[in-house]
Amino acid sequence: MALVKSKDTKPEILIRKALFSYGFRYRLHDKALPGKPDIVLPKYRTVILVHGCFWHRHSGCSAATIPKSNTEYWMSKFKKNVERDTAQQLELTDLGWHVIVVWECKMQKNFANLIALLLDELKS
């Protein structure tokens, strides 16, 4: 698992480039916030979390599979990931931040539509 990237993943970079091209300025992985969110837009008090479907268990997604070997370990790990994600999102909301979660599979299906929805969310 040492090769699994937690920062600067392809989906994250695509979102960042799109936001920047539309004039949004942001911070990356702000250590002062719970969970070090992927993208922080301080002007809008908004954080964007770019989640991979496998690691963060996107329900109903075909990418959220369970490995065949060592299943008990993986189930425990996935459960902890989901619990941690939920706790961090609640903590961010309690601090007054608007949390947007972007799922990796949604980016692959229709990126242009996702960016349009993201921009609408930020401008409202």
Spelled out in words, what is the top-level CATH class assigned to the domain 10-123?
A: alpha beta
- Region at 57 (left for phi over 0; alpha for psi -120 to 50; beta for the rest): left
Q: What is the mean pLDDT of residues 91-106?
A: 93
pLDDT grade, residue 20 (50/70/90)? very high
Q: What percent of the chain has a predicted confidence (pLDDT) above 70?
A: 95
How many Å is the Cα radius of gyration of the chain? 15
How far is Cα 7 from Cα 94, in angstroms, rounded to an integer?
Answer: 25
Average pLDDT, rounded, for the chain:
89
Residue spans per domain, the chain: 10-123
Say what the pLDDT of residue 93 is.
97
The answer to whether 53 and 103 are in contact (CB under 8 A) is yes
With a cut of 60, say whether residue 1 has pLDDT above it.
no
pLDDT tens for 42-77 read 999 999 999 988 888 888 888 788 899 999 999 999
pTM above 0.85, yes or no: yes
Residues in a beta bridge with 57: none
What's the distance, CA 38 to chain centroid? Answer: 7
